[in-house]
Chain A
């Protein structure tokens, strides 16, 4: 897992790097969960989500937005995600647990996923993205 938080005045900016696009997206999802619920997260309950979008940036924004929705409405905190991307189609399997106020209340609610200068880049080392969470 590889992501880091970069300085951003108003919101939260994350940089992630990974060998594959699926791993990159998994890392960004882990970052989102960490920002919202902290590091003490475990598994046990699984969820599957499939989405379609025309490009990598839209796929990433859409899956993150969908996770914000599922997590809030179903009261679930995800520990990790396994993501497969096939062209314009993304399949995700999440592993998580019910929201526990005693362990998961310390984070910051993310209001939305920003397109702010976001682009998924590929070079000889793999994939990299910088993304802003609106908080």
Chain B
């Protein structure tokens, strides 16, 4: 481990005040011995720099999928007090509300496994990759409604059912959205991208539930062994990217105005209680809503295709849950025995509220919030649930995925897309993307083993394993 970092438990480490100058609180992160060998020291420095930000509460945190990010590390979680705290676009990322959802189907494995035409049909139906545009352009009124009402707007358009909203974090939209804080540039990028997947690590994957670890929770979530499911991973597209870019620029000015001086320019921020802070929060919430609506539109397209192909009813494909990975939210947490509303930034981390939280879907109150952790193309994905341990130690947060360990340059040098595709096919996984490069870029070996990452959060008690899913087919950008 890095010099100066202290072990506080089997999986828990502390970055003490003084690790970098100006830290206001200690840093804390979760890691196993094996994951320690691939830890980037730069990511721990980012964790420490976040601890220097005004109004940070208790700890600057990172989950076991920690790696270098923009300002905040990926896997980073930080909460700020409403009176002295700040809000930072770098604590959310360019892809606002990049997130993941899962719906189940009644289709048997034998109908799906090895069925290339299903993957081809999905690839044709759902626009993917660079330049992927939706078939119909949104009107300005529709875009405004999408940014205001998120997944609810999509359901009102017929692209889903009311129950879907119960199964989304925030019920599929943040009410603090302020569309007047979203620039014309961002809106222009939003018109043509409703229902598009994007590129990079975004995907739609057909999976099968292979293992159940907690049958009571799995039952409550509607998950059973052998069930064929569909997982969707994407975000707020160009509209969210542009909102981040626009507000980063505004924050640069705000730093000078409010005399905030930080070691890293990427931590640009503004007081939560300032016009700049409020505007970013409103634009971020509007972008987050766009992302929830986007995932709902993609779900709708996939469900319709499944219904047509397998002659099943739309309602037979219930949503398990939808979680955000990149977002800032106002939440009530108990800090030093007192309830306090804080602005929790999660940057490549998942909300994991424990049993009894009022924000958990009806019927799941005793279990805890469903958490969805996508694997990489060839590896397992997991369903977990939130715990009291997360409420006590991580502002109700856990990991978000595997986390990269190999650069794209190395991936391209060492791996061929063709070989990766053939190898995955041998394991029964059909991959469809626009290019071989995109497949090599996202090969299973470029990521940390997802099994180990979820094992750490389970063993550390900040979420609990419920089920493991394996991929059968995937479409990528």
Residues of A within 8 A of B (CB): 5-10, 12, 36-37, 58, 62, 65, 68-69, 72-73, 75, 99, 101, 104-109, 111-116, 132, 134-135
Contact = CB atoms under 8 A, between A and B. Distances in A.
Given A6-B409, A9-B68, A116-B70, A111 B241 contact: yes
Nearest to B191: A73
Given A7-B407, A106-B438, A112 B94 contact: yes
Given A9-B406, A111-B95, 9 more contacts: A69-B242, A73-B189, A105-B131, A105-B434, A106-B435, A111-B94, A113-B245, A116-B70, A134-B94
Contacts of B434: 105-106
A113 B408 CA distance: 17
Interface centre among A9, A72, A132 (most CB of B within 10 A): A9
Contact of A134 (B70, B242, B406): B70
A36 B189 contact: no
Contacts of A72: 131, 189, 238
| Minimum-distance CB pairs A-B, first 8 | A106-B435, A112-B94, A111-B94, A105-B434, A7-B407, A109-B199, A111-B241, A99-B131
Interface residue tally on B, bucketed by range:
35 or more
A115 B245 contact: no
Interface string B390-415: 00000000000000111111100000
B200 A109 contact: yes
Given A7-B407, A9-B404, A105 B435 contact: yes
B198 interface: yes
B130 A36 contact: yes
Contacts of B441: 108
A69 B189 contact: yes
Interface in B415-468: 434-435, 437-438, 441
Contacts, number: 96
B134 interface: no
8 contacts: A9-B67, A68-B245, A101-B131, A107-B435, A107-B437, A108-B441, A112-B245, A116-B266
A20 to B, nearest CB: 25
A110 B477 CA distance: 12
Given A73-B188, A73-B189, A109-B198, A114 B410 contact: no
B299 to A, nearest CB: 21
Given A106-B435, A107-B130, A134-B94, A12 B408 contact: yes
A63 B408 CA distance: 25
Nearest to A74: B188
Given A115-B266, A134-B70, A108 B242 contact: no
B129 interface: yes
B477 A109 contact: yes
Nearest to A119: B265
A104 B67 contact: no
Contacts of B129: 105, 109
